Structure 1
Amino acid sequence: MNGSLTGRTALVTGASRGIGRAIALRLAADGALVAVHYGSNVTAAKETIELITEAGGRAFAVHAELGRPGDAATLWAGFDAGLRDIGAAPGLDILVNNAAIGRSKGIDAVTPEEFDAVFAVNVRAPFFIVQHGLDRIRDGGRIINISSGVTRIAYPETIAYSMTKGALDTFSLTLAKVLGARNITVNSVSPGIVDTDVNADWLRDNPDAWAHAAAYSTFNRVGEPADIADVVAFVASADARWVSGQNIDATGGSHL
């Protein structure tokens, strides 16, 4: 633990697995108390917390199914209760909007129900999580939205998902202007292809797919969750105090 975030409290949505878990582990390693949000997989969330505590960090779980009516209020009620349960001071310093869903479908295959669902989780939920959380986020805090390289590189097969990430980038840009007077920075971090469970069905155990995915990056490898978590940790730190309203490309130089 390097202690750079000691005394800070962080909330990471979708922190039970994948990139979200890696972010939670890294922020905790830097000294933050981490609220580990999960939607349905309580076992995975407990595993994330165990990994944090075994490494000497502090964490607690927050449950809320995003994309449902009242999701932001449910999340913040769980967050407040979690702080009380462990005797921690109220308030938040770092909010990472990581939770997202998406399906690989082109414009000819996306149904209205699927379109509404992906926007509800990927756009509506972060918007109202921030809106409901503004009185909890301390001055000088950080809001970090996990976007995607699909806002820079066209992927027709993920068109609805790509649109949600474009909306999230606009949210980051505009919110940075709104919250600048409070010294709160707001940025997006955009991963490329990362080896997570969400990509497992087509990427893992498929050498051809792996080689194809690795070739996107200038480093000729597939990204790891820790690659993204380290970038988020920088944006969350005091070193990034002069960076706001930006989309930080963390695609490994994909499609340069």
Structure 2
Amino acid sequence: MDLSTLILADSRFPGGGHVHSGGLEEAVSRKLVVSERDLPGFLFGRLRTAGSLAAVFAAASTHAAARGVQGGHWRRLDVELDARTPSPAQRQASRAQGRGTARAGRVAWPSPVLTGLLAETPRPHHPIVLGALVGVSGGSPFDAAMAVAYLAVSGPASAAVRLLGLDPFGVNAVVARLGDEVRRVSEHAAGVAGLDPADLPAPGAPALDLFAEAHARHHEEEVRLFAS
């Protein structure tokens, strides 16, 4: 994994990911996650569903960037990820992070590929723009998949520390124990990166979709710590 991929997976990267809990805040409010014991199950489920979907599209985007695709391919990737994201709130959160990542990425890794992507999709989904940035900086589809798969669990894990006051050492250990599964998800994503966008896998997460919609409604009624 090269330096650019590590930067993109870093919580300090100014892409706006720190304001999203990945559904963890809603799960906490429903008392489905109340302690460190509950966290592994939530993170594993998120990794195998929403995280796997993000990894697939990040890997596909890196593959496309490395080939210098043209002819509306970025738009096709974006539409296909939209179709696999039933929750409007999750689509909005992904595009918000994508916009922030694109702004930071244009400064760090200016490229005609990124310019072309943003011309086709001015508000791209986060996995798509992250994958493109990994591609233009010389990374592989596996690198991009690893980055977004890791973010799928590290973001909610950090949110758990803030929401529940959990021991950060214990939470970090929970994330570390998911290492083999993060790699398996990433290897699978890299293996299908060259498929036509319409043929990419579509793992679903109905509970996370419902959590996202509920959180969006509650966010309008009361102050929430996270945007999603």
Name the TM-score class by shorter chain.
Answer: 0.3 to 0.5
Greater Rg over alpha carbons, structure: 1
More helix as a share of residues = 2
TM-score by length of 1: 0.30
Structure (1/2) with the larger strand percentage: 1
Q: Which of 1 and 2 has higher RCO (CA within 8 Å, sep 6+)?
A: 2
